[in-house]
Amino acid sequence: MILLALTALRIFVAQDVAFAWPPATGPVFEYAVERSFDGVTWALVDTVAQPQAIVAIPWGIDTFVRVVALDVDGNAGPHSDASAAVATLPNADLNGDGAVGVTDFGLFRSAFGRCIAGTEYVPCAP
């Protein structure tokens, strides 16, 4: 099974990044998608049937992604090369209308200091 380099399509909606790669040769049951913050230590983040995946990338942290093809018995081919470092930035489109404007600022201002939800800003419920 041969995998070529990954390509990343940046989707600046929160912290999801779409990755796609050429299909592996040979009998592929699924692909294991792995993520690393240092390029050395890797963790499984997903398994997918098609040669594409959406990977959550923490805001502002360089993250690397690689994949490995698995056959039906779980035998792995060689790992792909790691992607280039990918980092995302917080999204200021708080109302989800596709633009950053006065309404977004109003949502932020009205909820500032009242809600803490991990790394994502979540406006408080009215």
pTM equals 0.62
Which of 1-5, 23-27, 99-103 is modeled with the greatest confidence? 23-27
Q: Which two tokens stand for residue 96?
A: 């989800």
Structural domains for the chain: 7-70 (2.60.40.10), 92-126 (no CATH)
Summarised one tens digit per residue, pLDDT across range 8-51 is 433 333 477 889 999 998 889 999 999 999 999 999 999 999 99
Alpha-carbon gap, residue 64 to 101, rounded angstroms: 32
Summarised one tens digit per residue, pLDDT across range 53-80 is 999 888 778 889 999 999 999 999 999 9
